[in-house]
Structure 1
Amino acid sequence: MVTKEFLVLLIDDEELILRALKRTLSRLVPHWKVETLQDGHLLTEVLSKGLHPDVVITDRLMPGLNGEQLLLQVQQICPMALRCILTADNSADLLLQNSALIHFYLAKPFTDEQLLKVFSCTEQLQTLDFSNTERAFLGRLCVLPVLPPLYQKIQSMLNTTEFQLKDVAELISHDPVVSSRILQLANSAFLGFSRSTVSLTEAISRLGLDMTKSIVLALKSSLVYQGRISTAQHQRITEQAFHQACMARYLCKQAGLGAEMQDYAFLVSLFGCLGWMAEHLQQPSMSDEDSCHFSMISAYLLTLWGFEHSIVQAVILPEALADCSSLSGVVHWLAHKVVHHKNYQLTDSDQHIVESLQLYPAWTELLTGLKTG
């Protein structure tokens, strides 16, 4: 098996910075080849001559041009390359304005860990079974959501040893959309909650932190599409996504799987819908059921955000159930069929798989409930 040689292109008008960054990379990622370019005006010429970097890192401000202009050229000529900008301005406005153009922001001064994430995500993307055509499609997405600041704040809070649920609730309470969705799900009889609550802290306790974080991620990351697709489309896709996630969790619950697996199935199925809006915006003529593109976009985003490989693999919807790589992937596949194909019938081979995983009684019960409900 031939091992891929990874290549990064560094662009900065200051030679000393290029040298320092190159030394750092030789220490952090010694298996990467490093090329440098001091004159950004020569970028098009260099790329046109056959240089195919996996990552391009550029300073944002240089004499006579800026990093965004350079990364636009990279997107057009080498769409498969991940694009990273070095900047002193990491404000939310900048992130949103350039969300289709820039994959990673490194705010000066950045840490080794932040720099290393760019390269680990790139290597992770290479493990996904995407064709070059599909990778180019992903690199040219016209909107690229960033990891929501609220999600990052919650994650940072959870990384401390002294956090309490009420602290998480206080943080979320300032966002009425997220708060109302959490309360709605925590009062859902379908999910097994028989007693109502108006306490956000109790609602988070019922759902668990993983489900809560996934709700935050799904709702906040979709905001970038507001104004780009119609309000009705945005609402429809959002409701379908949560409906699918609830179906996945219900399947696991009825199959007697533990709470951890139920929550994980919810998370995978909800995350699997992250690409729906992006796909609809990119190719409006394609239906939401085109699993090829929307699930790849979901996997692409999750990889860029640093999610673990097992989650990324599980969200990818193969055409055949037999090609699902995990139990959570199978549940995600079945939940997708329930939402998009109300009268879907399992083939004999699919039924055998579902039976072998002891999901068939839960599957038939779910279908019966949907027909009678």
Structure 2
Amino acid sequence: MGEQVLNILLVDDDELLLKALSRSLSRLYENTVIVCLETPEDFESCIVDQGEPDILLCEEHLHGSFGHDVLIAARMLCPRAIRCLFSDNLQQECKWQIDNTIHFHLAKPYTPAHLSKVVDSALTLKSLPINDAIRVKLGQLSGLPCLNSNVSELLELLNEGSANVNELAELVNHDPILVSKLLQIANSAFMGFQSTTQDVKEAITRIGLTAFTAVVTCYEISNVFINQLRQSEIELIMDTAFSKAVMGQSLSRCLGQDLQEQQKVFACCLLSAIGVLTKESVLNDERLCTKVSCYDIGAYLLALWGYDQELVRAQLVEQIPIEPVISVVVMHALVEQLTLNKAFNISAQLTSILYTCGEFNNVKQWYNNF
């Protein structure tokens, strides 16, 4: 990741703020090319001259115009850029995020942590094996889901390594349906515990932080689409993803992977529901549906939300790395193909990886016993 160049465009009519922001971004990530624009009316010509940025940061209150209008234009002019708005007022945040005008709404005064999150998401997106045509389509889509503040806070705690079970329990205790789902998973047979629990904190400990975050994310996003899909459709998508997560964790355990890796595989398979839900709800155009896969959408959204790069990359099961390693993406691809084919029928590439790693017969036997 260190060799990637980030092209950043800053739009603000305050010269001093532009200089301060440039310094902050350069300290966060050295390999940047930063262009500053003080006149928003020259935005289009700047894009033509400088090319598309990876990150576009824009002040909301500009002389004679508004930053969100610049970002609306950016959806068409530079759709691959991560679009960020600086503002004192977050009231319009939900509307602008749902119509995909902005990806990040940064409250003033900004902090290094805010900027770091944007930079990390941009680096993750750049690293994904998604072609330019798909990136353009994803950047121009409207109606994409956005995380609520509770889930965003949960992700931040997890990424900072500062999450504790008490804080996490407080974040979910307000929602009896979510608590019920967590207890159901914690008490399910595949978790391997002899006794049941009704304690949320113990449930979180059993599930693990990575898997817990995936459960909460999927639950919240399924609620976003409650008016666009029938409840039965949402439940089917979520049940299928949960079945894949259980299968993935079982396979991971069979291959002797450690508990942390098992949690990653569970989370990755469960998070596949995000792309499916979004595609079913947002992509009504049949031509667009064939061009953009649910895996592309899932990876794109998880990257924007600040998920760990490995989990984001593992959504792209149609682009498996050539290295013969049983990684999270390989595990996810195995589960997807086994679920789709309803038989031990996997691609030549996956077969080759399993044989190279000496695990083909183990996986086949596991499947026959699953």
Which category describes the TM-score, using the shorter chain as reference length? 0.7 to 0.9
- The count of aligned residue pairs is 364
Matches of 2:20 and 2:11 in 1, distance apart? 12
Matches of 1:341 and 1:180 in 2, distance apart? 32
SS of equivalent residue, structure 1 residue 316: coil
Residue matched to 2:221: 221
Letter of the 1:31 partner, please give it. Answer: N
Letter of the 2:114 partner, please give it. Answer: Q
Matches within 5 A, 1:80-119: 80-90=80-90, 94-95=93-94, 97-99=96-98, 100-119=100-119
Note closer, same or farther for the CA distance 1:79–1:208 as it changes in structure 2 (3 Å cut).
same
Residue matched to 1:366: 367
Note closer, same or farther for the CA distance 1:72–1:229 as it changes in structure 2 (3 Å cut).
farther
> Which deviates more from structure 2 when the two are superposed, residues 48-57 or residues 264-273?
48-57
SS of equivalent residue, structure 2 residue 130: coil
Matches of 1:365 and 1:286 in 2, distance apart? 38
Note closer, same or farther for the CA distance 1:273–1:286 as it changes in structure 2 (3 Å cut).
farther
Aligned CA RMSD, in angstroms, stands at 3.3
Q: 1:179-208, CA deviations, whole angstroms, 9 ceiling, x for partnerless residues?
A: 121111112124434433322233222212
Matches of 2:328 and 2:161 in 1, distance apart? 29
Residue matched to 1:192: 192
Matches within 5 A, 1:254-333: 254-284=254-284, 293-318=293-318, 326-333=326-333
1:359 Cα deviation from its structure 2 partner:
6.0
Percent identity between the two aligned chains = 27
Matches of 1:349 and 1:6 in 2, distance apart? 33
Residue matched to 2:138: 138
Note closer, same or farther for the CA distance 1:337–1:238 as it changes in structure 2 (3 Å cut).
same
Matches of 2:354 and 2:221 in 1, distance apart? 33
Q: 1:11-50, CA deviations, whole angstroms, 9 ceiling, x for partnerless residues?
A: 1233333343334445444532222322323323443556
Residue matched to 1:168: 168
Matches of 2:345 and 2:318 in 1, distance apart? 17
Matches within 5 A, 1:48-63: 48=48, 51-63=51-63
> Which deviates more from structure 2 when the two are superposed, residues 152-161 or residues 207-216?
152-161
Asked if 2 retains the 8 angstrom alpha-carbon contact of 1:141 and 1:278, the reply is no
SS of equivalent residue, structure 2 residue 342: coil
Matches of 1:342 and 1:175 in 2, distance apart? 35
Asked if 2 retains the 8 angstrom alpha-carbon contact of 1:154 and 1:213, the reply is yes
Matches of 1:30 and 1:321 in 2, distance apart? 28
> Which deviates more from structure 2 when the two are superposed, residues 325-334 or residues 41-50?
41-50
1:219 Cα deviation from its structure 2 partner:
1.6
> Which deviates more from structure 2 when the two are superposed, residues 272-281 or residues 104-113?
272-281
Matches of 2:215 and 2:189 in 1, distance apart? 18
Residue matched to 2:240: 240
**Structure 2 alignment gaps of length 5 or more:** none
> Which deviates more from structure 2 when the two are superposed, residues 54-63 or residues 44-53?
44-53
Matches within 5 A, 1:118-129: 118-129=118-129
> Which deviates more from structure 2 when the two are superposed, residues 77-86 or residues 249-258?
249-258
Pairing 1:17–2:13 present: no
> Which deviates more from structure 2 when the two are superposed, residues 7-16 or residues 329-338?
7-16
